Structure 1
Amino acid sequence: MFFTYILVGFLWLLHWLPLPFLRGLGWLLGRLLYALGRERRKVALINLRLCFPEKSEAEREDLARRHFVAFSRAVLDRTLGWWASKERLERIIRIQGAEHLNDPEGKPIILLSPHFVGLDAGATRISMYVVGCSVYSNQKNPVFNKLLYDGRKRFNDTVLFSRQEGMRGIIKAMKAGHQFYYLPDMDFGPKESIFVPFFGVQAATIPGVARLVRLTGAKVVACITRQVADGYEVEVMPAWDNFPGDSVEEDTAFVNRFIESQVLRMPEQYFWLHKRFKTRPPGEQRFYK
């Protein structure tokens, strides 16, 4: 535990650095992790081969290196979200389309945020506008668990639910007026998942967006955060029209197609370190061995 506090103290010191210095450290860390992190490098390259078979191996390796750098920069940038002043964060994290964070008719809002490296920066900025709700995963280390938990509630009393609590509390919070910051694109195993394509590969996907819209009458508002040289840009898009459609399966496939379209805008910033295709349809060979 002593070393944990030493590390937290080091991270606290980082938030005083000018952003270019912090980004330089992120570049070094990313290149180091790519060189030494054999297991996660392998996962990223498998994902990129599946999603971009038209690219050469050299192109995919270059994309993976750039992803490790973007990911490492985002990790170090978290120190800003935890400790930097609100005024500095407003300069570094710019938001466009904040008017879409609230529905003029008062309907619940699902803030759909795919796993890009800037999603934590985006959540921090959005929390300066609305008191939302979200799901978090408990960390084994209690010090870091508290740091992450408190960081999410820094600018307002964000309602947080652990992943083990299920959706009942989220539905109640949404109906009470809390926008739900939802990350819809991870493989949580076969339970409650359905298989829909993601870049042409069948991916186990929890159809939470489609089901929540049907249960609450919510509007879906996509929030995409892009990491840029001088910070982050949060794009809050207008609510989706004609959603939901005819079936949960079609709607979930639509969500994945939307995420694909955003990945193509900044492929190096999507979370390729996650085993997105871990769960396979019955009888299909596994990709990650």
Structure 2
Amino acid sequence: MAVSNTGALKDIAGTIVLAGAGKMGGAMLTGWLAGGLDARRVVVLEPHPSDEIRALAAKGVRLNPREATSAETLVLAVKPQTFPEAGPMLKPLVGPSTLVVSIMAGTTVTAIEKTCGGMVVRAMPNTPAAIGRGITVAVPAGNVSAAQRATADALLRAIGAVEWVTDEKLMDAVTAVSGSGPAYVFLLAEELARAGVEAGLPAELAEKLARETVAGSGELLHRSDLPAATLRQNVTSPGGTTQAALEVLMAGDGLKPLMIRAVAAATKRSIELAK
């Protein structure tokens, strides 16, 4: 069951603490400021800030302040493997009504509640967030209010689309499909270029053709209201070259069972990491 809650960055009250400002945390911060969030209301805790994050401090973002600051909202963007150590250090920032938004893969709502407390929203974004084209799926704990869901939605929507679910068990499959999915697409571009070289194209040309074809097709899929299957059919002429290739890709041992096995393997690993 999907839950629709939208809010605006300008409506968010209180101090927002961002714990972890690597690629994903940095992308979120950039999106917040571009969306009109007052930089002076953001505290960033990052032991190894990039030059880009340091530059944002000049705009008013408080970077690694000496004194701990209580947070109305705490965004956990640390690496999951560092959370057992970092989590207890962040707990003093969390009050009884603090919203905790986690984008850590494989870290359950219960684990976050035990370590940090607060009202937890668990979210899974993906790397196109770096250009504002991510897709994030979020699930709220039972004690998260509608207003807090709206706050989380606004913060996550700054890096792309957001979908809400009520069943946390879905997050492992979400991780396998959209969280890991960009790697599958990049692999497709790699192998399409490699196949072009095998067919006789110069390597540089094959890479260019594969890269632009994947990027352009993705943009067409993004802009079109048509299902992916219809767009595929629109490229395919009966008895033509595309049909010849699709007969290989859509064979019984082709892409469909391979993708099912790949997503199942990623889902299984996500479950294992959460234990």
Same fold (TM over 0.5): no
Query: Would you tell me which structure has more helix in proportion to its own residues?
Result: 2
- The structure with the larger Rg is 2
Q: TM-score normalised to the size of structure 1?
A: 0.27
Q: TM-score, normalised by structure 2?
A: 0.28
